Amino acid sequence: MSEVIINAEKWVKSLFASDTTGHDWYHTDRVRKNALTIARQENADLIICELAALLHDAGDDKFHNSEEAGRLFVMQWLEKQSITRDDKIKVMEAIDTVSFKGGFNRPPEHIEGKVVQDADRLDALGAIGVARCFMFAGNKGDAMHIPDKKPREEMTKEDYRNGESTAINHFYEKLLTLTSSMKTKTGYKMAEERHAFLKTFLDQFYEEWSGKK
Ligand code: ADP
Ligand code: NI
């Protein structure tokens, strides 16, 4: 493994050691694995994808006072690494476009950005996606499900981050919209099965909720 990957792994492990919002080290590690799987199929640069996947949440504005502060945090770390300036720019470009932010972020331009974005989104789908959604909602103080509360159709970036919702409504507000926005063929194929699982989960959830099962 290259030195910069080993350094990134150590750094990010220490940053996310005690996270309980669904962004723990294992999330990053799964995104790295998904990114490598997709990158191999899509002929993307493996080191850029792996490094950007490892760093993708380190500078997220959820964990910093502003988007700029988060970017700077990662850039300062990258500056100390012995990779080319071009590679640093490519990694930053991928990280800048990865986050969902309620759909308000600009889309990735390079294949490496697309790979890492798909890899991150896959972790919001399937069984892991369900688990992370309920972790996130509990942590934020949202309810599991309120039948009278309908999913929000239009949201500002601020509403998406801080507005009140429920874990079940998050399926409609975000999770079920992800598959159609996958950026690579490989990512899309991987997403389809996980998407189907979300629907199966919801079907069974409503049956149990209503006492039919
Ligand atoms: P973003 O915060 O930009 O949506 P993340 O990838 O950081 O994207 O989200 C982390 C995980 O938490 C994802 O699985 C996401 O679906 C979930 N999540 C984000 N916002 C909510 C929410 N309001 N309620 C439930 N889960 C959420
Ligand atoms: Ni992430």
Fill in the amino acid letter for 211.
Answer: G
Q: What is the rounded average pLDDT of the residues 113-136?
A: 96
Task: For residues 174 and 195, give the distance between their C-alpha atoms in angstroms, rounded to a whole number.
Answer: 12
Q: Return the best residue to mutate from 20, 133, 159, 194 for the ligand 1 pocket (most ligand atoms within 8 A of CB).
A: 133
Task: Work out the percent of the chain whose per-residue pLDDT is above 90.
Answer: 74
Question: Is 132 a pocket residue for ligand 1 (Cβ < 6 Å)?
Answer: yes
Residue in the block written with tokens 């919702």? 165
Around ion ligand 2, residues with a beta carbon closer than 5 Å are 57, 120
Question: Is 133 a pocket residue for ligand 1 (Cβ < 6 Å)?
Answer: yes
Residue in the block written with tokens 């049956």? 207
Nearest to 27 by CA among 119, 114, 111, 91: 119
Q: What is the pLDDT of residues 126-184, one digit of tens each?
A: 999 999 999 999 999 999 999 999 898 877 777 777 788 999 999 999 999 999 999 99
Q: Does domain 2-209 have CATH number 3.30.70.1280?
A: no
pTM metric for this prediction? 0.92
Question: Over 70: is that where the pLDDT of 1 sits?
Answer: no
- pLDDT value at position 108? 86
Domain boundaries, the chain: 2-209
Question: Is 129 a pocket residue for ligand 1 (Cβ < 6 Å)?
Answer: yes
